[in-house]
Structure 1
């Protein structure tokens, strides 16, 4: 719908339209940028007339028809499992391929909404993102979405060697699946890699190329690695109003893609030092030393926030040893605040159990 739509095109009593025009309110956008009491004052309309005017204007600006809660519960609303190969079950999730991690997230990443994975450098964030790029290609029955992934790199080059290693180790990670099924999937053919050096390129990719792939059913997962890199580098301290505006527009674009195509969106984020305890508490990170970058403006664009950290300690499994990690649910509408220990192995990121822990001193670094 067009927010600049003329009031004459709205379903309104001609008397209301005429009064608004006399006050130089001629479009739906203008009717919504003035408060109700101010509209009453400048137009001379009653409170109920102004409510009718603003309701009609809001309908003209709305991009999607409202979805009743009952349809959301049934999973039959628009964009909820209606894409190619998605099925129509409610609460569709993209599994991570590990029972412990999927248990923490109640099945995996939600198919509708933006998930943020934040953490310090070396925590294992990109490892988990690569794992999801493979998991999304599995059949629905096995926690996948039976489609490909788009991986947008904004800072480092794409870790192609690590991806190839993960592909070769899929039989080890997914021992619950028939090896023939895994071998039948050409994993590398279904991952589309984009490198964006500036915000203009990033926004063009999200606005044009990604929707085309989603509409064709070629992909059902979007990864941005990382969301903070360009927004941090292209703006000075005094440019925060423009940065916030661009950040909110970017978040809105990601939500539209996720909603329209029932596709999980994973945004990897950097972290910044927390100045004091009150700042940490406002971000849902009580007693944390770091918090996700980009502040509250970005936090309000995220439906699920996950944190991944390295711990002081290591874990062992067979001939492998890895630094211990913790994956934590910071906030989510459907999850409680919880965490689990995990580690990065040749075959991917997996949860760890008590008998695998080699060093008992395991605290956040």
Structure 2
């Protein structure tokens, strides 16, 4: 990018060039080259040649790669699963099924590539509740039923329980040390290819008051930048669980629900955190009165829930229903409303 192409007063550009030439004793050609190099670096030139794309073909392929949820209905909603590079947020109220989906992904990541996995383990960062070991063991024991699409001998070779690393953190400093040291070490050694944080909002509960919004935003930006760096460097999906808060006005309601549900809630942590995300999903638990309007088939013995795409660069705003049973999280096909 040439400096002359910037939307700036030509006098300002000329003065900068003149001062640089005077202070550095460089020729006008050298100064022009310097300015061009600096401006190109700062703008992170987003225009690539065909040769650059070919040389970075592994990175381009990872942008299209997905981690399957192990369920065809849920994968269809997400066009294959969650992206391998980037931060995906899963927000929702208590008992909406967020932890169930997280555990399912922690198992799915261990499957071979041909079955939607990444052939590696997962690290699960708990920030508030005790890790649900009993539920995880149930899911492991039921894998031969849940993943009927995978040959039994393949399932039996996977050491599910030995490939999930559990980290407990209770404050912001401990969390930062965890992702910069422990998680980085696991990723660099190829021991994990999925990072789950359950939950982000719990780290900030009670830490900041109304006057501390700037400090809170800096923490969120720092965490977001580090997580992005880890995801990009190691081609690792980052799944962040988030809580919800009551929407305070009609704008919040519209942005959080898009008219699909009757719940006036929005994800916690605000706009600063939203800007760190590649994709936002919301899980909701349906009441009896809500099941009929969406045309969902009754799933006997289970409470119906919905998983919605709030925003993503590659997906439209859409949703599907799912239920949680002993075997795991299963999408439920819906009828068209009358």
Tell me the TM-score normalized by structure 2. Answer: 0.82
Q: Find the counterpart in structure 2 of residue 156 from structure 1.
A: 129
Deviation at 1:280, TM superposition (A): 2.9
How do 1:141-220 residues align onto structure 2 when only pairs under 5 Å count? Answer: 141-220=114-193
Structure 2 residue aligned with 1:345: 325
Matched residues in 1 for 2:52 and 2:155: separation?
A: 33
SS of residue paired to 1:336: coil
2:307 equivalent to 1:327: yes
Higher relative contact order (CA 8 A, sep 6+): 2
CA distance in 2, matches of 1:54, 1:162: 58
Match of 1:255 among 222, 228, 241: 228
Residue 274 of structure 2 corresponds to residue 299 of structure 1: yes
RMSD: 3.3
Alpha-carbon distance in 1 for matches of 2:206, 2:35: 40
- Taking a change above 3 Å as real, the CA distance of residues 166 and 291 of structure 1, as seen in their structure-2 partners, is same
Structure 1 unaligned segments of length 5 or more: list them. Answer: 1-34, 81-87, 361-365
Whether the 8 Å CA contact 1:75–1:89 is kept in 2: the answer is no
Q: Output aligned runs, 1:24-103, within 5 Å.
A: 40=12, 44-45=16-17, 56-57=37-38, 68=48, 76-77=56-57, 79=59, 91-103=64-76
CA distance in 1 between counterparts of 2:256 and 2:50 reads: 31
Question: In structure 2, what is the Cα distance between the partners aligned to 1:38 and 1:215?
Answer: 48
Tell which deviates more after alignment, 90-99 or 275-284.
275-284
State the alpha-carbon separation in 2 of the partners of residues 266 and 164 from structure 1.
21
Contact 1:284–1:331, Cα closer than 8 Å, also in 2: no
Cα shift at 1:224: 0.5
- List per-residue Cα deviations over 1:231-254 (Å, max 9, x = no partner): 233111111100001101111111
Deviations 1:209-264, CA, capped at 9 Å, x for gaps: 11111111111001000011112331111111000011011111111111111111
In the alignment, the residues of structure 2 paired with residue 290 and residue 71 of structure 1 have an alpha-carbon distance, to the nearest angstrom, of 47
C-alpha distance in 1 between matches for 2:97 and 2:211: 33
CA distance 1:36–1:256, change in 2 (3 Å): farther
Distance 1:340 1:74 in 2: 37
In the alignment, the residues of structure 2 paired with residue 120 and residue 71 of structure 1 have an alpha-carbon distance, to the nearest angstrom, of 47
Q: Which residue of 1 is the match for residue 85 of structure 2?
A: 112
* Pairwise CA distance, 1:276: 1.1
The alpha carbon displacement at 1:309 in A equals: 0.1
SS state of the match for residue 233, structure 1? Answer: coil
- Aligned equivalent of 2:4: none
- How far 1:40 sits from its partner (Å)? 3.3
Listed as ranges, the gaps of 5+ residues in structure 2 are: 1-6, 21-27, 292-296
Aligned to 2:294: none
Could you give the per-residue CA deviations for residues 142-162 of structure 1, whole angstroms, max 9, x where no partner exists? 000000001101111111111
Correspondence for 2:212 among 235, 239, 248: 239
Tell me the distance in 1 between the aligned counterparts of 2:263 and 2:35.
Answer: 44
Residue of 108, 111, 125 corresponding to 1:138: 111
Query: Which of 195, 205, 214 is 1:222 aligned to?
Result: 195
